[in-house]
Structure 1
Amino acid sequence: MTPKPDSAHCHEINVTWGDCDPAMIAYTARLPWFALDAINGWWEAHLDGDGWFQMELDRNVGTPFVRLEMDFTSPVTPRHKLLCYVWPEKLGTSSITFRVDAEQDGKLCFSSRSVSVFTVADKFQKQPAPAEIRAIVEPLIPPQPVTADA
């Protein structure tokens, strides 16, 4: 995966005792929750405080997930804040791809990539990315690295 851009949004999560299993690390199932919470934080930071709840109910824009992938590199514990760096990687006609890199104490713990589609929320029908959202997202997508053909 590509490195995080300087423009990545940092969403801080306080990992607590209740997030952990008997091995004293965060339950595996909590890690996708942390990533999704960070994406919601990204929306709140870029839509004047509106997250998924407001997008769905007030803007009539749904963003259901169609793909989620995660790579784990280091355990998440309650010893340090979990800093989740979030950025959009791609904006399609009707979909958005987000990347989340989560770090504790300067060490990468997991990387996540998710794809959501835009819907008319009250009809659950696919729609193109709304113009207001496209205008916010497009400037924040980092340039893709150029690769040489083999």
Structure 2
Amino acid sequence: MSQSAPDNVPAEVYRYSYHMGFGDCDPAGIAYTGALVNAALRAIDRFLGDVTAGRGWYAMSVSLGAGMPFAHLDVDFVSPVRGDADLDFTVEVTRLGQTSIGFRATGWQRSEACFSLNSVNVFISRGEGKQPLPDWLRAALAPYLA
């Protein structure tokens, strides 16, 4: 049974679910901090792939010769995440700048926000460095701007 984000989260917010397994937790069944960051980054990557017709972080790097390295990353923890349960995410775009994008991935269990990861990523082209956001990326992300 999935324990999802509350129903009052707007429909236009992207949702993703990740099962917290044995390797994600300590012997007491509490998720490791690194596992939570990894799961949140997976949620953002899945979001990118889904809203850009398959152009997530990996595809951007390999197929397009572009990337979005991190300029900033922070995590705020509210309550422990338990293992052997789904960790549901909501993903929002918090900023669409000239060359950068802000994301927020919030992890939920039992309809309770457990943590939020905020990132700022800069769009780059391999060999050319920082570039303005391409129109296709801006158009895909604009509907998710919080």
Q: TM-score, normalised by structure 1?
A: 0.86
- 1:91 equivalent in alignment to 2:96: yes
Confirm or deny that 1:69 pairs with 2:80.
no
Which residue of the partner structure matches residue 139 of structure 2?
Answer: 135
User: Within 2, Cα distance between the matches of 1:136 and 1:114?
Assistant: 18
Structure 1, unpaired ranges of 5+: 143-150
Bigger drift between 96-105 and 3-12 goes to 3-12
> How far did 1:114 drift?
0.4
Equivalent residues of 1:62, 1:124 under 8 A apart = no
Contact 1:11–1:83 (Cα < 8 Å) also in 2: yes
Number of aligned residue pairs: give it.
139
CA-to-partner distance for each residue in 1:85-129, whole Å, 9 max, x for gaps?
A: 101111000000001111012111101110000000x21600010
Quote the Cα distance in structure 1 between the aligned partners of 2:47 and 2:80: 24
User: 2:107 and 2:74 mapped to 1: Cα distance?
Assistant: 14
Contact 2:12 2:143 in 1 (8 A): no
CA distance in 2, matches of 1:90, 1:60: 23
1:32 is paired with a residue of what secondary structure? helix
1:42-121 maps to which residues of 2 (within 5 A)?
Answer: 42-120=47-125
CA RMSD between the two structures = 1.6
Q: CA deviation at 1:18?
A: 0.8
* Pair 81,95 (structure 1): closer, same or farther in 2 beyond 3 Å: same
Q: 1: CA distance between counterparts of 2:55 and 2:67?
A: 13
Change (3 A) 1:74 1:129: same
Amino acid across the alignment from 2:114: C
Secondary structure of 1:25's counterpart equals coil
Structure 2 residue matching 1:76: 3-state secondary structure: coil
Check the 8 A contact 1:98/1:113 in 2, yes or no.
yes
Higher relative contact order (CA 8 A, sep 6+): 2
Q: Distance in 2 between matches of 1:111 and 1:5?
A: 17
TM-score (ref. length: structure 2): 0.88
Which amino acid in 2 is paired with 1:89? T
Task: Output the amino acid matched with 1:29.
Answer: G
- Structure 1 window deviating more from structure 2 (72-81 vs 102-111): it is 72-81
